[in-house]
Amino acid sequence: MISKLIKEIQKKNAPIVVGLDPQLGFLPKKLLHAGFKEYGESLEAVAEAVFEFNKAIIDATYDLIPAVKPQIAMYEQFGIPGMVAFSQTVEYAKSKGLIVIGDIKRGDIGSTSGAYAMGHIGNVTVGSKIFTPFDEDIVTVNPYLGSDGVQPFIDICNRNDRGIFVLVKTSNPSSGEFQDREIDGRPLYELVAEKVVEWGKSSMDGDYSNVGAVVGATYPEQGRILRKLMPKTYILVPGYGAQGGKGADLVDFFNPDGLGAIINSSRGIIAAHTKSEYAKFGEEHFADASRQAVIDMLDDVRGALGTK
- Least distance in angstroms from the C-beta of 128 to a copy of itself: 6
Interface contacts to a copy of itself, rule CB under 8 A: 21, 23-24, 36, 41-43, 45-46, 71, 73-74, 76-80, 82-84, 87, 105-110, 112-113, 115-116, 118-120, 124, 126-129, 131, 133-134, 142-149, 167, 170-179, 181-184, 188, 191-192, 195
Instruction: Give the Å distances, CA to CA, from 61 to 68, 142, 280.
Output: 10, 29, 18
Quote the CA–CA distance of 108 and 300 in Å, as a whole number.
38
Q: Which residues of 100-120 are buried (b: 16+ CB within 10 A; e: fewer)?
A: bbbbbbbbbeeeebbebbbbb
Quote the CA–CA distance of 5 and 175 in Å, as a whole number.
27
DSSP element (H, E) containing 265: strand 261-265
Residue 181 or 201: the one with the smaller Cβ distance to a copy of itself is 181
- Least distance in angstroms from the C-beta of 35 to a copy of itself: 9
Residue 200 or 255: the one with the smaller Cβ distance to a copy of itself is 200
Q: For the chain, give the number of residues.
A: 308
Q: Can you tell me whether residue 9 is helix, strand or coil?
A: helix
Residue 76 or 299: the one with the smaller Cβ distance to a copy of itself is 76
Residue 146 or 303: the one with the smaller Cβ distance to a copy of itself is 146
- Least distance in angstroms from the C-beta of 37 to a copy of itself: 12
Residue 192 or 226: the one with the smaller Cβ distance to a copy of itself is 192
Residue 105 is among the residues annotated as catalytic for this protein = yes
CA dihedral 34, 287, 21, 238 (to 10 degrees): 180
- Least distance in angstroms from the C-beta of 140 to a copy of itself: 9
Q: Which of 55, 105, 232, 275 is catalytic?
A: 105
- Least distance in angstroms from the C-beta of 45 to a copy of itself: 7
H helices present in the chain, as ranges? 2-11, 29-39, 43-61, 73-76, 79-95, 110-121, 147-160, 176-179, 188-200, 220-229, 247-250, 267-270, 286-305
Tell me if 275 sits within 8 A of 267, measured CB to CB.
no
Quote the CA–CA distance of 197 and 168 in Å, as a whole number.
11
User: Which positions are annotated as active-site residues?
Assistant: 105
